[in-house]
Structure 1
């Protein structure tokens, strides 16, 4: 994944072409950014199919609104903002949030191979991380996921969340403090 400060000139030109409704250019943008958008949803919903569906919705909305993209170098922040709003819309429509299971991992949905021990270890690790992340509020969790799982800069997080740098730093500090307490409680059990 390329971050905003590392966009190379040809990729910036590609995004500019996409913003002029060039389908081929937009397809390449989609290929570049579909994984981080999918991960954004998967880390929150833990449902592979739903994450894929919502990621598709994000790119449909992006295609419909690509002309509104003001600064091509901020495309990732723009896509994450669309993803965040899409997730909020999904939760509003659903009105209840259930915790999906890891059926894709358990069933080996992407392969005909049986589940391997390392897959089980990964599944358990993901579940433990998610359990710890559930110990903090949604905004704090969002900052942690964007910063440490998606590798975004504080500036990008500010743009996605529509918050000041002070607010983002404060959310991150409070989240890390709470995570530390939750982890210490888990370790001391």
Structure 2
């Protein structure tokens, strides 16, 4: 990182190393591959312009802090209709030709969970995305979003607990059908 700060031409390896993770984070937040690609490019453009603002520590956390801000600004600009587009998110899971009962049940459960996640406030979706997609621990997430490690751990715990309760509630309601 120090080399990139002195010589922006050295920024290329950082781009190659982190682009996919940044893109995946952006994609999970906006649901459109083209938008995600534009946002990821904006993240690296901002990072390159602000190399002097890097204060040491985790490069990934610094880049994801920029990504977090870029995505939030983008989502604010396109309110009120923000969606993760469940169909596009489902492409990572078994394809439409799945024929076994287990695959069909699994896909249905995944869609239920995604539907529950879609209903979460943006801040909660963002925390889950940083944790699951970004693969950051609570300390790194705290650094990215500007909260304490304890607050992030508690909030993630509460979000997951609530999702679990909501999922079990929907399962019970379907069984009553």
Shorter-chain TM-score: which interval?
Answer: 0.7 to 0.9
The corresponding residue for 1:5 is none
Distance 1:129 1:104, change over 3 A: closer
Distance 1:123 1:39, change over 3 A: farther
Residues 1:46 and 2:25 aligned together: no
Residue correspondence of structure 1 range 154-173 to structure 2 within 5 A: 154-173=138-157
User: Structure 1: which 5+ runs fail to align?
Assistant: 1-14, 107-114
Q: Quick one: which of 57, 71, 74 aligns to 1:90?
A: 74
Displacement of 1:124 after TM fit? 6.7
The normalised TM-score by structure 1 is: 0.75
User: Structure 2: which 5+ runs fail to align?
Assistant: none
The corresponding residue for 1:153 is 137
Specify the SS of the correspondent of 2:50. helix
Q: What is the distance in 2 between the residues matched to 1:20 and 1:128?
A: 49
Q: What is the distance in 2 between the residues matched to 1:125 and 1:179?
A: 13
* Larger RCO, structures 1/2 (Cα 8 Å, 6+ apart): 2
Distance 1:126 1:54, change over 3 A: farther
Give the RMSD, CA atoms, in angstroms.
2.6
Question: CA-to-partner distance for each residue in 1:66-104, whole Å, 9 max, x for gaps?
Answer: 121110x41111111111111121122223233264469
Is the contact between residue 39 and residue 70 of structure 2 (CA under 8 Å) also seen in structure 1?
Answer: yes
Q: What is the distance in 2 between the residues matched to 1:129 and 1:51?
A: 22
